Amino acid sequence: LAQLYGPLNTLGSTYRSVNQALIDTEKLLALLNEPTDVNDAPGAPDLVIGNGEIEFENVNFSYDGRTTALDNVSFKVPKGSSVALVGESGSGKSTILRLLYRFYDLKDGEGRIMIDGQDIRNVTQASLRRAIGVIPQDSILFNSSISYNIGYGKFGSSSDEIEAAARSAQMHERIMSFPDGYMTKVGERGVRLSGGEKQRVSIARTLLKNPPILLLDEATSALDTSTEKDIQKALQELQVGRSSLAIAHRLSTIATADTILVMREGRIVEQGKHADLIERGGAFAAMHRDQSLTHGSEGTATPDRTSPPEL
Ligand code: ATP
């Protein structure tokens, strides 16, 4: 973690590139209260959370002012529902999450992103980020105890709350298998947890944080079937009653999402429920057919990639 302080302190373009390389963006942003290009308007109010309904309204975005990353993207995440983003590499999935988290602000004329009817550009970044939980592909843990790593989600959480969160995240039994239980040190200088275990610690932490909105970036790498099932179960617990937007690679996630958005070259080319999209016989159906043939039902639903996505 310490190695990231240097680059993050160098602002401007470095900030942007490091930003994308950040794995646990949420944690680092909390630690490094650095100014970014995104500024709060003087006297900006806090976001007032109602149901946690998200709306993208004709969003156009370009990172460099020349190439289009998002092209007239409009969709809604109704309260408590789950939306899965699918599409090939570079189609704009991560950009949607980055904009919602306000790594970049839309300019006038580029559309609007609303949460519960408030344009996110007009509210404080701190209040926005309090309302959003991020489950990255690969969580970095603090070099501290498991208890600390989970309890970080909510200031002053009790050991009972931490254990309840770990149980819901399907991590309690694994934690109890360590000689020091919840006091086991993890991270670089402690027990090395697998990717799936780190993700479950991150899910437990987010359960304690209790945000109304979730951003999930699913791992592309294959997990063994039992880990996969544990993570699915943990995520299902987490998603109850929250609005979620997931970059989805697993057919199981995609099949259970309330809405699937199929992205191509910055545009939403199809949207709907799994069964409807299959029936339509379009881009999603073709993608589904190809992947089912090569990977079976537990396989990934997007093409193999050379590098994992970062939020
Ligand atoms: P992946 O599945 O590989 O993560 P994605 O669907 O999440 O891909 P995005 O990362 O949202 O795609 O990228 C959308 C477009 O924006 C791509 O053309 C990409 O090259 C471009 N892009 C992404 N980040 C930047 C950046 N920092 N600067 C310039 N262009 C960028």
Q: Residue 140: what are its φ and ψ, rounded to 5°?
A: -90, 135
Amino acid 222: pLDDT: 67
Atom 2 (ligand 1) nearest CA:
89
Atom 28 (ligand 1) nearest CA:
63
* Tens digit of pLDDT at every position of the chain (311 positions): 445 444 445 444 444 434 343 444 554 444 444 446 788 989 999 999 998 999 999 999 999 999 999 999 999 999 999 999 999 999 999 999 999 999 999 999 999 999 999 999 999 999 999 999 999 887 888 889 999 999 999 999 999 999 999 999 999 999 999 999 999 999 877 888 988 899 899 999 999 999 999 999 887 776 777 778 888 888 888 999 999 999 988 877 888 999 999 999 999 999 999 999 999 999 999 888 877 544 444 444 443 333 333 44
Task: Specify the ligand 1 atom closest to the Cα of 263.
Answer: 6
Atom 30 (ligand 1) nearest CA:
63
Amino acid 237: pLDDT: 87
Q: What ipTM score was computed for the predicted complex, to two decimals?
A: 0.97
The preferred substitution site among 62, 91, 304 for testing ligand 1, maximizing ligand atoms within 8 Å of CB, is 91
Atom 29 (ligand 1) nearest CA:
63
Q: How far apart are CA 82 and CA 244, in angstroms?
A: 5
CA distances to 6, 9, 143 from 35, in Å: 15, 10, 26
The preferred substitution site among 63, 217, 221, 265 for testing ligand 1, maximizing ligand atoms within 8 Å of CB, is 63
